[in-house]
């Protein structure tokens, strides 16, 4: 006497339904695991990008605050002494320059028109030859400054080497510089200019200045001034995170839209890291994040963007193996089940 384990000649229609159900279940489980794993990897990638972006933005914020603190310290030093001579000025600003990123630190006296001649003549005792208050001509050359009520010439500048052209230049002769001077006086606070071309600039970088007014016995005597090449400043600010392949754009959004770009920084991306057509790029976006900060009376926007190299080193695509592995496993299970249901099993 025998008893069937599986009915002999299992109906074809039922066999197909069972196989279809098993196959569909396998596909659904595979896709569910694939999507879940992808979303987890995407979440980790975003969190890492946000962390790296916050780190880079924090470096720029700390750097800019540090520069303003240095300028304030110089201002208080001059106010405390009641005057400033070249030797004292040089000694005080040396640590500021050692911290890198600053093109120059300057002392800008307020010179009424009736004291111009005396100031220009007084340079003889400084042993540096003739001192002339100058301005930039339409062709770009420096010429004697035209008559105006007040002059704001560069009197001391450190380091002098590389900044010789700035000595004597009347910062009030330029509308952007004069605007910053006026706002600084009105608010008694540090004030940055919009982007400018520095008098001493020989490359293609944009620059900007930060004025801080100095009052002695209630009278405005002049300004301490920091001069920045924006590209050099940005490079020095983010140096601790320079190994991250994150493009960084610094913009002055206080300025008109056509004049906002200050500097762009991009890491030297190894050729082996660039692969925009890799599978990873189809599943992960190149993220971008903006952060607006206040700096010396202006608003700056820091835009940090992921590059293909950053994406490759930061995003894990190990989840991709789930799809072929799961589908293959489903296929093998389907074939096995089909064969099993096609065999006549009996117990004797």
CATH number, domain at 44? 3.30.450.350
State the residue range of the domain holding 87: 16-316
* 241 located within any domain: yes
With respect to residue 340, please indicate whether it lies within any of the assigned structural domains.
no
Asked, for residue 67, whether it belongs to a domain, the answer is yes
Q: Please, are residues 208 and 195 in contact by the beta-carbon 8 Å criterion?
A: yes
343 falls in which pLDDT band (50, 70, 90)?
low
- Amino acid 10: pLDDT: 58
Residue 126: is its pLDDT beyond 70?
no
Q: What is the pLDDT at residue 236?
A: 92
286 domain residue, yes or no: yes
**Ranges 73-82, 197-206, 265-274, 317-326: which has the least confidence:** 265-274
The answer to the question of residue 217 being in a domain is: yes
Residues 37-74 have pLDDT tens digits of 888 888 999 999 999 999 999 999 999 999 999 999 99
pLDDT at residue 342 in the model: 67
Average pLDDT, the chain: 85
Confidence of residue 248 (pLDDT cuts 50, 70, 90): very high
Residue pLDDT, tens place only, 276-285: 446 677 888 8
Asked, for residue 276, whether it belongs to a domain, the answer is yes
Task: For residue 98, tell me if it sits in a domain.
Answer: yes
Q: How confident is the model at residue 270 (pLDDT cuts 50, 70, 90)?
A: low
- pLDDT tens, position by position, 147-185: 999 999 999 999 988 888 888 999 999 898 999 999 999
Q: Which residue has the higher pLDDT, 34 or 293?
A: 293
Mean pLDDT of 118-134: 72
Mean pLDDT across the stretch 254-282?
Answer: 73
Higher-pLDDT residue of 25 and 233 is: 233
pTM over 0.75: yes
Of residues 347 and 61, the one with the higher pLDDT is 61
Q: How many domains does the chain have?
A: 1
Highest-confidence range of 26-35, 128-137, 256-265, by mean pLDDT?
256-265
Q: Is residue 190 part of a domain?
A: yes
* pLDDT given at position 268: 66
């Amino acid at each position: 006497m025998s008893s069937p384990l599986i009915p002999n000649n299992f109906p074809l229609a039922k066999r197909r339904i069972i196989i279809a159900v098993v196959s569909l279940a396998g596909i659904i489980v595979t896709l569910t695991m694939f999507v879940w794993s992808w979303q987890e990897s995407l979440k980790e990638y975003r969190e890492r990008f946000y962390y790296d972006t916050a780190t880079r933005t924090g470096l720029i914020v700390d750097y800019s605050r540090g520069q303003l603190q240095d300028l304030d310290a110089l201002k208080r030093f001059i106010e405390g002494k009641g005057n400033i001579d070249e030797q004292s000025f040089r000694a005080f600003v040396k640590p500021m320059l050692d911290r890198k990123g600053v093109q120059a630190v300057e002392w800008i006296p307020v010179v009424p028109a009736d004291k111009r001649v005396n100031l220009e003549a007084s340079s003889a005792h400084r042993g540096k030859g003739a001192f002339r208050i100058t301005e930039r001509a339409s062709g770009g050359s420096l010429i004697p400054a035209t008559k105006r009520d007040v002059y704001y010439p560069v009197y001391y500048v450190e380091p002098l080497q590389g900044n010789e052209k700035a000595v004597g230049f009347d910062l009030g002769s330029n509308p952007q510089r004069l605007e910053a001077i006026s706002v600084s006086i009105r608010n008694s606070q540090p004030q940055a200019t919009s982007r400018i071309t520095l008098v001493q600039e020989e490359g293609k970088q944009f620059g900007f200045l930060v004025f801080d007014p100095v009052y002695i016995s209630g009278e405005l005597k002049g300004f301490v001034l920091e001069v920045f090449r924006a590209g050099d400043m940005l490079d020095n600010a983010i140096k601790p995170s320079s190994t991250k392949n994150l493009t960084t754009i610094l913009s002055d959004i206080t300025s008109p839209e056509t004049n906002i770009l200050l500097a762009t920084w991009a890491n030297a991306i190894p050729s082996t890291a660039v692969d925009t057509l890799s599978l990873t790029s189809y599943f992960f976006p190149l993220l971008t994040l903006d952060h607006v900060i206040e700096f010396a009376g202006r608003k700056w926007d820091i835009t940090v963007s992921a590059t293909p190299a950053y994406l490759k080193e930061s995003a894990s695509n190990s989840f991709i193996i789930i799809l072929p592995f799961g589908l293959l496993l489903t296929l093998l299970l389907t074939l096995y089940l089909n064969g099993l249901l096609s065999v006549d099993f009996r117990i004797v």
